[in-house]
Structure 1
Amino acid sequence: MATMSDVARRAGVSVATVSHVLNETRPVRPDTRRAVLEAIDDLGYTPNTLARSLVTARTRSIGLAVSAISNPYFTEILQGVESSALAHGYSLLIADPHDDPAHERTVVQLLHERRVDGVIVAPSAEPTALVEYLTRHEVPAVFLDRLLGGGYDQVCAENAFHVEQLVLHLADLGHTRIGLVAGVPGLSTTIERIAGYRAGLERRGLPFRPGLLADGHSEARGAQDATHRLLAAAEPPTAIITANNAMTIGALRALRETGRGVPDDLALVCFDDFSWADVFSPGLTAISQPSREIGSTAVRLLLDRLENPARPPRTVRLPCTFVHRTSCGCRP
């Protein structure tokens, strides 16, 4: 196995110069740096990450804590985080907080104890313990998807505007009773999407009916039950918006169980597109989030924070895309 001394001899430099190139502890001339990197590549030298961390106080690793990693939305975010981290020479440690506040704080502590340089977290609806831990231990952190108050870097999609867009589209097709299957109460995404729903109703002069808003708790079974409740109302909706992709599956199950077809009996649209949405018959009209870009932006914000810990926190909101298919009742 090649050593740092072998690299130094191949490049014609001192061991200290190789160390400076690897650890970025001192500027090195471009031609010298290039010679060292070529020697590393030629010899297949693998740096001792632990030893480097003792020199630089960095492990070049990032902790990622997101719930429901099996959800296609978070899977794509994970891909964005991983590809961006690797491009910058960082490895990734992953944990699932299960949207449980106590477990969330525990897994972030475990990531921190493994000396990650910083963490990227999709926080729960009750993140008090998480924030207290991050603040007390001064852990560099970025929140994604779900926003908290000021003080931390954050990145998410635009929520309210795009749900309003769905409401306006359905209203313009003639629907006056539009239901919403919402996510976990208390999450910023849920709050913002409900706000967009109400704003769309108001813009079209439609009353807000509390009976047409049901909590689906961001998962398929909850949405299935919520859709059954909506359909059992005295005046059931003629169109339904689901607030994420997992809840779309639950809503479709409920519609199948009650013998209702889409869009002939009821229009269905969703916030959160997914890769097989166009396979459904009819194709699902949806809002597509820039999932991978959310993940890569979170990495960029974290690396900027590590480079300049004193800079003001930033909140980045990324636009979504309206994907027009036929589940809304429009012709192909």
Structure 2
Amino acid sequence: MATMADVARSAGVSVATVSHVLNDTRPVLPHTRQAVLDAIDLLGYTPNTLARSLVTSRTRSIGLAVSAISNPYFTEILQGVEAAALEQGYSLLIADPHDDPEHERKVVQLLHERRVDGMIVAPSADPRELVAYLGRHEVPAVFLDRLIGTPADGAPADGTAEDATAADGAPADATPRYDQVCAESAEPTARLVAHLAELGHRRIGLVAGLPGLSTTRERIAGYRRGLAGSGLPYQERLVAHGDSECAGAERATAELLSLPAPPTALVTANNAMTIGALRALRDRGLSVPGDLALCCFDDFAWADLFSPRLTAVAQPSKEIGAQAVRILLERLASPGRPARTLRLPCTFVHRTSCGCPEPPAQSEKGTAP
């Protein structure tokens, strides 16, 4: 097995230079760096990551805590995180918090004990223990998708930092500031509601997500904004919580359909709840869009295969994951810089479940403000 000394001899440099190239501990001239990399490739040298971590106090590993098993949306985010981490030479340790606050704190502690350099976390609806643990141990972290300390109706898409406003139920001055990255939620939801209103619907229902999540608050705010912009009143009975999962959305949709004046159109607030809503409609023998128009937040791989094809808001899931890695690495490089929240624009994908005829194949951009 090739050693670092073998690499140094092959490249005509010192062992210390090889170490600097591998660990990025000191600048190395480009041609010297390339000679070392060529020697590593030629000899098939595999660095000892444990030894490297002793030298650099870094493991070049990132902890990722998302409910990827129970929520297929996070699978695409995971792909973005993995690709970006691998590109930067970082390994990934993954844990599923199951959207449970107590389990969330345990898995974050487990990742921390594995000496990850930093963490990327999709917080639960009650992230107080999570935030307390990260703050107590000064763990570099980026929150993705679900945000902490953000306004309920969304924030500017310019990537600037914003003041905590206790939207997560905690006092603003008690919420540590962390980097955060997500997609726009409020304005794209308003766009779905406005589109259904333009088609003549006056009773538009919402199957909302798990109470306490920032995405739930922002999509409800967007729903209300869309109604107001279309001259329609907000009716609380037309909002039912599907708790961000399929079975909950079945129950919520059944509740809405049982109203004396049920909705004629429905917006579902994530992909799992879209499936639940469709099951509830099927069980009642109702068709989309014949009996009820449907628009959904979250496009997904098979949405184009449904009959009718689903009109949806598509989130840049892989880019959210990739940006979370980039922001975390920036934090590791500059621990003292101000925290920031980055919001990425979504795409309105116009298909036929809303009741429109088959549109042109090209998606329409620009739902973000």
**Please, what TM-score do these two structures have when normalized by structure 1?**
0.99
- Aligned residue number for residue 342 of structure 2: 316
User: 8 Å contact 2:70–2:98 — kept in the other structure?
Assistant: no
- Aligned residue number for residue 320 of structure 2: 294
Rounded to whole Å, the distance in 1 between the matches of 2:252 and 2:319 is: 31
Q: Compute the displacement of 1:306 (Å).
A: 0.2
User: 8 Å contact 2:68–2:78 — kept in the other structure?
Assistant: no
- Aligned residue number for residue 49 of structure 1: 49
Partner-residue secondary structure (3-state), 2:201:
coil
Which stretches in structure 1 are left out of the alignment for 5+ residues? Answer: none
- Aligned residue number for residue 252 of structure 1: 278
Amino acid at match of 2:213: L
- Aligned residue number for residue 232 of structure 1: 258
Partner-residue secondary structure (3-state), 2:26:
coil
Q: Compute the displacement of 1:14 (Å).
A: 1.3
- Aligned residue number for residue 19 of structure 1: 19
Rounded to whole Å, the distance in 1 between the matches of 2:257 and 2:70 is: 29
User: 8 Å contact 2:178–2:340 — kept in the other structure?
Assistant: yes
Amino acid at match of 1:105: R
User: 8 Å contact 1:156–1:318 — kept in the other structure?
Assistant: yes
Q: Compute the displacement of 1:70 (Å).
A: 5.0
Partner-residue secondary structure (3-state), 2:206:
strand
The C-alpha deviation readout for 1:128-167, integer Å capped at 9, x for no partner, is: 0000000010000000001102510000010000000000
Rounded to whole Å, the distance in 1 between the matches of 2:116 and 2:245 is: 31
- Aligned residue number for residue 96 of structure 2: 96
Rounded to whole Å, the distance in 1 between the matches of 2:8 and 2:348 is: 55
RMSD of aligned C-alpha atoms? 0.8
Q: Compute the displacement of 1:34 (Å).
A: 1.1
Rounded to whole Å, the distance in 2 between the matches of 1:204 and 1:27 is: 59
Q: Compute the displacement of 1:39 (Å).
A: 0.4
The C-alpha deviation readout for 1:155-200, integer Å capped at 9, x for no partner, is: 0010000000000000000000000000000100000000000111
Partner-residue secondary structure (3-state), 1:278:
helix
Partner-residue secondary structure (3-state), 2:342:
strand
Q: Compute the displacement of 1:209 (Å).
A: 1.1
Amino acid at match of 1:126: D
2:287 to 247, 257, 261: 261
Partner-residue secondary structure (3-state), 1:119:
strand
Partner-residue secondary structure (3-state), 2:303:
coil
User: 8 Å contact 2:308–2:353 — kept in the other structure?
Assistant: yes
Rounded to whole Å, the distance in 2 between the matches of 1:207 and 1:15 is: 72
- Is 1:277 the counterpart of 2:303? The answer is yes
Amino acid at match of 1:120: I
- Aligned residue number for residue 106 of structure 1: 106
Which stretches in structure 2 are left out of the alignment for 5+ residues? Answer: 150-163, 165-176, 359-369
Partner-residue secondary structure (3-state), 2:108:
helix
User: 8 Å contact 1:72–1:274 — kept in the other structure?
Assistant: no
Query: Which structure 2 residues correspond to residues 105-254 of structure 1 after superposition, within 5 A?
Result: 105-149=105-149, 150=164, 151-254=177-280
Amino acid at match of 1:74: F
Rounded to whole Å, the distance in 2 between the matches of 1:78 and 1:188 is: 20
User: 8 Å contact 2:50–2:59 — kept in the other structure?
Assistant: yes
User: 8 Å contact 1:155–1:317 — kept in the other structure?
Assistant: yes
Aligned length: 332
- Is 1:83 the counterpart of 2:83? The answer is yes
Q: Compute the displacement of 1:46 (Å).
A: 0.4
Rounded to whole Å, the distance in 1 between the matches of 2:83 and 2:353 is: 34
Deviating above 6 A after TM superposition, structure 1's stretches of 4 or more consecutive aligned residues are none
Rounded to whole Å, the distance in 2 between the matches of 1:253 and 1:28 is: 60
- Aligned residue number for residue 361 of structure 2: none
Percent identity among equivalent residues?
76
Rounded to whole Å, the distance in 1 between the matches of 2:282 and 2:347 is: 28
Amino acid at match of 1:6: D
Rounded to whole Å, the distance in 2 between the matches of 1:25 and 1:252 is: 55
**Please, what TM-score do these two structures have when normalized by structure 2?**
0.89
- Aligned residue number for residue 330 of structure 2: 304
Partner-residue secondary structure (3-state), 2:304:
coil
